Amino acid sequence: MGAGHGHHLHFHGHSRVHHLPAHVKLVTLLTFVVAVVLTPRTAYWAYGVHLLLVLVAQRASRVPFGYFAKRMVVETPFVVFALLVPFVATGPTVSVGPLDLSRPGLESAWALLAKGTLGVMASLVVATTTEPRHVVAGLEKLRLPNLLVQIMGFMVRYLEVVTGELARMRIARESRGFRARSFRAWPSLASTAGALFIRSYERGERVHLAMLARGYQGQLPVTHPLTATPAQWRVAGAIPGIAVLTLLAAVAL
Amino acid sequence: MHVPDGFLDAPTSVGTAVVAVAAVGVALRGARRELDDRTAPLAGLVALFVFATQMINFPIAAGTSGHLLGGALAAVLVGPFTATLAITVVLIVQAILMADGGITALGTNITLMGVVGVWVGWGVFTLVRAVLPKRTAMVVPAAALGALVSVPTAALGFSVLFALGGNADVPFSTVATAMVGVHVVIGIGEALITALAVASIVLTRPDLVHGAKPLLAQRELTIRTAVSA
């Protein structure tokens, strides 16, 4: 559903946000988003505070705002879903111009949009400032099962290789006059996917043999263990800290 | 189909996260049985294959296009355990590195696409395969039906979760009708692409198609005498 996924999301930089260890950023992200999700939908001011917090983190990352904003299109399908809610929800209605909209539906749509958008923005701050391999190391530090970490490590490591292979296959098709314009293109595109599977699987087998030749016994060595200083925890923790305080205030009021 | 943050309430998100953790635990064990120490590199490359094929745009009409979801395709190609792991890893990477799908909705997304999408696809595939004649070419229609059923079933799963813990008062029948309706159409496209892709692989490397293994094992060796020119 929706557009394809670009994979060059990381924006090279040397800001404070870039230099935070990945596991610190992941814990920060999760805590912040949980606080946002639990905030009562009618506490509008609290959402203002959350938005301010994300924007502070975004500006601190010194990633151009335009680059950041363009990546928010991933949210589109569910924005459409949220915008339809006031039309189909039950409950008392209000007239907005010529339309009769459900009042609880409007409140729900607002909450869905606000929470979803803040979640996407917060994830984007992490995604634009963290290299994929550091995310894998961060998840390992956070005790994700080792096999899952290894699978993700291989996926991230060969990402450019396999997407490059796909790009070469596209260039090869197009240099033979192929244009994907209608259903008639589907068999060619599907056999591209088939060829990609065979090549990926065979690459997996070769990688495995190469690893065995280097003494692989089911575990990958950790060469650069991630560490975080208390100061880094304090800097990163300020944002979810304020978000949690906002949540508590919103619940109490 | 990636559920963002805040769409489902906290108990539902936690509930689906528990389901997802349990399912991934079972899949880790199952995949190790299928692939032993080859699991990490092969499942990693299969995850990457799923991720990359989602970038191939299939033109539909009037400039619109769609892409493959790949749950049923992965299940047929590498088996359901490895497919669950591959889809799970793809979803984690998409949530953290592409902001696609909420981080608190990760359990929901893994349950819907990595568990329901994969296992319904695999279940339908094995049922159809059991009914059809025992030939490797029959993997293709079985895979198509698996894909056709798995996509709307996952959408139905979402509708049920939305009725249980959706943050909006929309009647279940409205959500289910719309979601399943749209995803039946998506499922037809998914079935066609899955069939075409599986057909091209079965033709060249039937030994790589996990779902064709029992059929390949039944094949008898035939020795044909070649006529030299």
Q: Do B56 and A192 touch (CB under 8 A)?
A: yes
Q: Return the higher-pLDDT residue of A187 and B35.
A: A187
The shortest CB-CB distance from B45 to any of A36, A135, A158 is to A158
A206 → chain B, closest CA residue: B41
User: Can you give the pLDDT at residue B1?
Assistant: 62
Does the domain at B10-218 match CATH 3.90.1150.10? Answer given as no
- Quick one: pLDDT band at residue A168, thresholds 50, 70, 90? very high
Instruction: Name the residue among A77, A111, A162 with its Cβ closest to that of B6.
Output: A111
CA-based nearest distance A207→chain B, Å: 7
Confidence of residue A1 (pLDDT cuts 50, 70, 90): very low
Task: Identify all chain A residues contacting B168, using CB atoms and an 8 Å cutoff.
Answer: 85, 89, 104-105, 108-109, 111-112
Cβ atoms of A246 and A49 within 8 Å: the answer is yes
Domain boundaries, chain B: 10-218
Q: Which two structure tokens, joined as six digits, stand for A24?
A: 């610190």
Residues of chain B with pLDDT > 90, as a percent, come to 51
CB A54 within 8 A of CB A33: no
d(CA A155, CA A163): 11
Span B142-150, average pLDDT: 95
Q: How far is B32 from chain A (nearest CA, A)?
A: 9
Q: Are A36 and B6 in contact, with CB atoms under 8 Å apart? A: yes
Closest CA to B43 of A162, A154, A135: A154
Q: Which of B54, B85, B94 minimises the CB distance to A151? A: B85
State the pLDDT confidence band at B54, using cuts at 50, 70 and 90. confident
Q: Give the whole-angstrom CA distance, residue B61 versus residue B78.
A: 32
**Lowest-pLDDT choice from A184-193, B81-90, B138-147:** A184-193
In angstroms, rounded to a whole number, what is the distance separating the alpha carbons of residues A176 and A45? 58
Residue A52 has pLDDT above 70, yes or no: yes
pLDDT in tens, A56-87: 999 999 999 998 888 888 778 778 888 888 88
Residue B219 has pLDDT above 60, yes or no: yes
Q: Model confidence at A217, in pLDDT bands (50, 70, 90)?
A: confident
Please state which of the ranges B53-57, B178-182, B190-194 shows the lowest mean pLDDT.
Answer: B53-57
Coil, strand, or helix at residue A128? helix
| Chain B residues close to A50, C-beta within 8 Å | none
Quote the pLDDT of residue A3. Answer: 38
Section A132-138 average pLDDT: 91
Lowest mean pLDDT among A97-106, A144-153, A227-236: A97-106
Mean pLDDT check: name the lowest of A148-152, B13-17, B60-64, B195-199: B60-64
- What is the reported pLDDT for B16? 95
Q: In sequence order, what are the beta bridge partners of B203? A: none
Question: What span, in angstroms and rounded, lies between the C-alpha atoms of A100 and A102?
Answer: 7
Token representation of residue A132: 């994929």
Residue A239, C-beta contacts closer than 8 angstroms, at least 6 positions apart: A28, A32, A53, A56, A57
Q: Please report the pLDDT score of residue B229 as a whole number.
A: 57
Provide the pLDDT for residue B168.
77
Taking Cα atoms as reference points, which of A165, A131, A137, A169 lies closest to residue A8?
A: A131
Mean pLDDT of all residues in B192-220 = 88
pLDDT, one tens digit per residue, over B60-106 is: 766 667 778 889 999 999 999 999 999 999 999 999 988 888 899 99
C-alpha separations of B154 from A54, A145, B50, B118, B177 in Å: 32, 26, 17, 9, 13
Give the separation between CA B157 and CA B163, rounded to whole angstroms.
10
pLDDT computed for residue B61 by the predictor: 65
pLDDT of res. B149: 95
Are residues A37 and B68, on separate chains, in Cβ contact within 8 Å? Answer: no
Helix (H, G, I), strand (E, B) or coil at B218: helix
Give the Cα separation of B131 and B126 in Å (integer). 9
The residue of chain B nearest to residue A123, with distances taken between CA atoms, is: B99
ipTM of the complex: 0.89
Contact check, Cβ <8 Å, B4/A132: no
How would residue B201 be classed by pLDDT, with cut points 50, 70 and 90?
very high
**Residue A145, token pair as written in the block:** 């099962």
Statement: residue B47 has pLDDT above 50 = yes
Point out the residue among A90, A145, A153 whose CB comes nearest to the CB of B171. Answer: A90
Region B180-191: mean pLDDT is 90
Residues 6+ apart with CB under 8 A from A177: none
Given this model, what pLDDT does residue A78 score? 78
- pLDDT for A2: 37
How confident is the prediction for chain B on average, in pLDDT? 89
Q: What is the pLDDT of residue B63?
A: 64
pLDDT band of residue B192 (cuts 50, 70, 90) is very high
